Every structure is written in structure tokens, then in C-alpha cells.
Amino acid sequence: MKKILLPILLTAGLIFQSTAVFAEGSESVSYSEYQADANLPLNDQEKIQLEFEKKYLDSVFSIADKFFGSTEGFNDFGEIYIENENNNPYLVVAVAKDSENVNSFIEEMKQVLPSDLLVIKEVNYSKTDLLNVQSEILNRVETDLISASSILSTAPSVKDQKVIVRVPNYSVLQESTLNLMTTEFSDLIKFEEGGENTTTKARTDAFTEMGGGIATSNCSTTGIATKDTREFLITAGHCLNNIGSSYTQGGVSIGTQHLSNYYTGGIDVGLVLLTNTNKKYGNKFYYNPVANAEYDSAYDTASTALVGQLVCKSGKTTNVTCGTVDVLDGSVTYDDGVTVYSDMRVKKTDGIFCDYGDSGAIVFNAYSTNRVVGITSGKGSAGTVHYGHIAKIIPALSAAGSVTLYTSGTVKSVNPNN
């Protein structure tokens, strides 16, 4: 995982019915048989926001799907995001380009959210406009037209109406570079200072069933993906540096390093081809230790998130931590000089979101924990604020060869000879 950590280990309690304990070797498990109430590690402000998200976000996503295909489909017209001021969360629809669809969308939103929880805001630039500026900046950095440090990150911000360019200190960019960027892109760039971004590399028992949130030899896991007749364990791409070699979980070989998109494709996703026929796979992830069971949670959807939304991760080093999405389509250049995209940055002000060993850990929706939103990639900081860098799950699955997230409650045996 790349750098953004908050050293906070949170013990999260789960409430189970007796049917929540699963026997090893079971071929089929129905998660409708129990309800796990996750005690997420949230501060008071986040708890208030979680209630807001539980009450309204499903409707927001549903209406956005109806008119634009997804919330990100609205990017051509502006952006939809969450604000939280003085423990008062609300939804913002920032509109740069009007259309009949936009007007109809807003009218339906007004039927769902009270007037004091919905702000319609006119802006000059849509998310797509700012993504295009971001792309041009990154192109110039990569072709050496702009001299930049290997620890630069970018983030389009509709709220600020700028592309945020973050470096450890302003001296990292030469004065001529600053002048070029600020002159050419006028008022569309804002520079901020921040710490270095670094990748990180520790639930350590050997698991019978492969899933999310468990420890591998050097990282953590997101879950299971399938393609054709093959099954893969999903982790961060930078965790795999010897394609074709054996990969272990709990000291036991589970398969071979199959693909890393980190160095070649620009999204930090990696796949381990499962070949150990003594292992099983399913759609579960490790949230909290449970007696006589390997897992206590499950996912059933690959999803996206909104700027301002609460998300959580479960990894081997810092266990379960939660924070707020403050960048949804950013880029980050890590301390090894590699730049990755489709970067979702998570902000945490009361600890660290992730640390070394959490790379590859599952990142899920706080208000609906069955939805996977990303793969833990790295960490960073700016003063006392810590960040987690996350590879967005949907573009990551596509970049990994159009694999499909395994979301069935049926536990299957690994069979590489299918």
C-alpha cells in the first residue's frame, strides 16, 4: 500500500445470531441467514454522517442511475458530493452544464431530500472539464515538459473549481515550472503542500477459504475475482513483483503471481491465480475475529463512492479504519517514481487510515458494508491530516483483464483444471 496512514487500531464488535458461525469445508453459505451489525470505528461527526448516508444515499444513487447511468455519469454536467459542516451533513449537486436530464434529476432529488439537506450550486467547470486539465498536466509531467518530483499528486476538485497539485514543499517545483503551469492554466490550478506518498506492504493465520481482509506474505487482500474458469485473489499490484512465482497466505502456497497493473497499467491492482486445490474461495471478508469461523462479513457488489462519503478498510496492520473520501479521480506518484490513476483518496484526521502491510486490503462502503469500493494502495499526509490512497474497484477490475468480482454466497473449491 502506498502511504497515508493513521496508526489507529480499532476493535470492531459484531453482533451475530448463532448461525453466523460457519464450519470449515461447507460448500454453501447463505448470508441472509444472519445479520452482522458492524461497530465501525467512527468519531462523533462520522456517526452523524453515517446516519445521513444510511437514510438517503441509496435513493441518491438510484436516481443518478436512472438519469445518468451512475453518479459518475453526472461528471459531464458537474458533480454530486457530500459536505459536512458543524456535524450537519448535506448533499451538493454542483451544476456546470444544464440539460433536461439535469433538471429532471434535480426535481426528483428534491422529492427525496429535505430542502435543508440538498444544495444546488452553479459552477463554471464540470468534473469532466477538470479531469481534462488534470490529464494535460500529467501528460506534461510524464513527457518531461514539466519538471516535477516523484512525489506529486493531483486531484480534480469541483468544490474548489481547480485541479489541486500537491507536493511535499513548493521548492520541489522550480519557479519556472510554477509560472508555466499557473500562467497556462490560469485559475484552474491550486498548489498545496503535503508529505511523501509511499507504498506499504502484515490476519496472518493460514485460511481454508480465500477472501478479503486477510494477510498474505507481504500484503492484504481485497477479495476474489473470476474469469472464464479461473479464480484469482485480488490485492495491490505493487505487492506482486515476480510474475509466475509462488504466492503464499499464512505460510502456505495458494497459487502464482499472475498479473500486476502497477508498473505497466497505471492502476494499482494485482491478481494471484489460485491453484491450491486444498483451498476454497467465496465472497467473505475478515472484519473482526470470530470464534470457530474464518470470516464474519461478506460483500455482494462492486460499487463506487461520492466525494465526502464515509468508507472503511480492513487490513492486516491497522485492522478496520474509516475515513472520508476527499478525492475520487486523482493521481498519485509514489516514492518509487510510479504514477497511478483512478485514485480515490480517503482523509482521516484522528489517526491513520492505513499503514505498511495494509496494501491490497478491501475498502468498503460504511453505510452498506457489503459494497466493495476499492483496493488499498498507499498512504500520505499533510501536517496532522493522514490520507489513504485507494484504487477504485470498478476500473481496477477492468484494468486487470475485465475480471469479475465473485459475489456469490456459495463457497467453492479451487480447481485450476476446470
Q: How many CB atoms lie within 10 A of CB 409?
A: 15
Tell me: do 104 and 132 sit in the same domain: no
Query: What cell does 64 get?
Result: 443518478
Better-scored residue on pLDDT, 276 or 6: 276
> What is residue 263's three-state secondary structure?
helix
Res 13 pLDDT > 90: no
Same domain, 146 and 95: no
User: Are 179 and 156 part of one and the same domain?
Assistant: yes
- Residue where the block lists cell 491513520: 352
Which of 166, 194, 222 terminates a domain? The answer is 194
3 state SS of 107: helix
Same domain, 61 and 118: yes
Mean of the per-residue pLDDT values for the chain? 84
The answer as to whether 222 is a domain residue is no
Claim to verify: residue 102 and residue 70 sit in the same structural domain? yes
102 and 50, same domain (yes or no): yes
In a domain, 204, yes or no: no
Tell me, yes or no, whether 71 lies in a domain.
yes
53 lies in the same domain as 108: yes
**132: CATH:** 3.30.300
Question: Could you read off the pLDDT of 183-221 as tens digits, one per residue?
Answer: 667 678 887 777 777 765 447 789 999 999 999 989 999
Instruction: Give a yes or no: residue 58 inside a domain.
Output: yes
Predicted confidence (pLDDT) per residue in 309-324, tens digit:
999 999 999 999 999 9
98 and 135, same domain (yes or no): no
- Give the domain extent around 82: 44-122
Residue 83 lies in a domain: yes
Boundary-marking domain end, from 122, 140, 165 = 122
Model confidence at 142, pLDDT cuts 50, 70, 90, reads low
Number of domains present in the structure of the chain? 2
pLDDT(287) > 60: yes
What pLDDT is stored for residue 24 in this prediction?
30
Choose the final residue of a domain: 194, 223, 239.
194
CA–CA separation, 31 and 13 (whole Å) = 18
332-378 confidence digits (pLDDT tens): 988 888 989 999 999 998 999 999 999 999 999 999 999 999 999 99
Range name among 6-20, 77-91, 293-307 with the lowest pLDDT average = 6-20
* Co-location of 71 and 102 in the same domain: yes
Q: Is residue 74 part of a domain?
A: yes
Cα–Cα distances (Å) from 72 to 75, 122, 220, 304, in that order, read 5, 18, 28, 8
Predicted confidence (pLDDT) at residue 27 exceeds the cutoff of 50? no
Cell numbers representing residue 211 in the block: 477472501
Indicate whether 151 and 179 sit together in one domain: yes
Do 157 and 170 lie in a common domain? yes
- Give the H/E segment covering residue 54: helix 44-68
Residue 178 lies in a domain: yes
